[in-house]
Amino acid sequence: MIWITLIVITSIIFIFILDSLRLKITPTPSSKKVRQKILEILPKGVDGPIYELGSGFGQMTLDLAKHFSGHPIKSYERATVPYLVQRLLLFFYRPQNAKLLFEDFMKKDSSDAGLIFCYLYREIMPRLALKIEKSTTKKVWVISHTFAIENWTPVKIIYANDLYHTPIYLYQINPRTEKSPN
Ligand SMILES: C[S@@+](CC[C@H](N)C(=O)[O-])C[C@H]1O[C@@H](n2cnc3c(N)ncnc32)[C@H](O)[C@@H]1O
């Protein structure tokens, strides 16, 4: 029994490390203070589904599903361990409007998004910005936790009341007026 437990724990750690290396990020959840601030900056009148790109263990997904009750929330998570934890969380809380997908969001279409939320890492932001600009067919709100998007002008920046004064950026992107130079 001890051996089986050890093998399971080692496998989970191994998969966690491999996924973090592959995706270039560990699944660090947004803190409660940051999540509260994000709820304050959420726009009203979102036209289209809400996408959470890299939803980790799912706490932010639950907050979004509650805040926008009845509005479709699609969250993408490609790392196995956080994905499975989030599956469990959604099973217990059963938000009717949240859908979790085990997919790489860079390879999926999100052109119908009304709002995109992400907490990722610096290097991916230019590629993500380009993807949004190219695919979006209408105005879309984008909220980025911590990482600003170069060449985009935020509508608003707010700071969490935490140790790092974590910035949260709100953008509204119209693909026909705001393009990246690439
Ligand atoms: C910093 S965590 C943020 C989790 C959650 N959004 C939150 O705010 O609490 C970023 C997550 O994005 C996931 N991720 C990174 N790149 C991804 C990709 N291309 N497709 C799907 N998920 C990705 C990581 O596995 C990680 O769980």
Give the model's pLDDT for residue 178.
47
Give, for 5, the enclosing helix (H) or strand (E).
Answer: helix 2-23
Question: Residue 37 domain-assigned?
Answer: yes
* Ligand 1 center–CA 57 separation, angstroms: 9
Tokens 């932001």 locate to: 125
Residue 56 lies inside a defined structural domain of this protein: yes
Q: Which domain holds residue 161?
A: 28-173
The total number of residues written for the chain in this structure: 182
In a domain, 143, yes or no: yes
Exposure of 106 in the CB half-sphere (CA atoms within 13 A) = 10
Domain count, the chain: 1
Residue 20 CB less than 6 A away from ligand 1: no
Ligand 1 atom closest to residue 54's alpha carbon, by position in its atom list: 12
Number of the ligand 1 atom closest to the C-alpha atom of 118? 6
CB 52 less than 6 A from any atom of ligand 1: yes
Tell me the CA end-to-end span of the chain in Å, nearest whole number: 56
- Residue 132 placed within a domain: yes
Angle CA 134–139–142, to nearest 5: 80
Does the residue 12 lie in any domain? no
Q: What is the pTM of this model?
A: 0.93
pLDDT tens-digit series, residues 84-131: 999 999 999 999 999 999 999 999 999 999 999 999 999 999 999 999
Q: How far is the CA of 32 from the centre of ligand 1 (A)?
A: 17
Ligand 1, atom 8, lies closest to the CA of: 30
What's the 37 CA to ligand 1 centre distance in angstroms?
19
Residue 58 in contact with ligand 1 by CB distance below 6 A: no
Which pLDDT score, from 0 to 100, does residue 176 have?
Answer: 60
> Considering the domain boundaries, does residue 152 fall inside one?
yes
Confidence tier at 181 by pLDDT (50, 70, 90): very low
DSSP class of 104 = -
Domain containing 129 — which CATH number? 3.40.50.150
Q: Are 86 and 101 in contact (CB under 8 A)?
A: no
Q: How far apart are CA 33 and CA 49, in angstroms?
A: 25
User: Which atom of ligand 1 has the smallest separation from the CA of 20?
Assistant: 25
pLDDT for 45: 85
The pLDDT, as a whole number, for residue 132 is 95
Q: Look at residue 62 and tell me if it is in a domain.
A: yes
Is 75 inside any structural domain? yes
In 42-124, where does DSSP find H-type helix? Answer: 59-67, 80-93
How far is residue 35's CA from residue 50's CA, in Å, rounded to a whole number?
Answer: 16
Q: Is the per-residue pLDDT at 137 higher than 90?
A: no
* Ligand 1 binding pocket mutation candidate from 20, 21, 25 (most atoms within 8 A of CB): 25
| Average pLDDT over every residue of 128-141 | 93
pLDDT tens column, 66-96 = 999 989 999 999 999 999 999 999 999 999 9
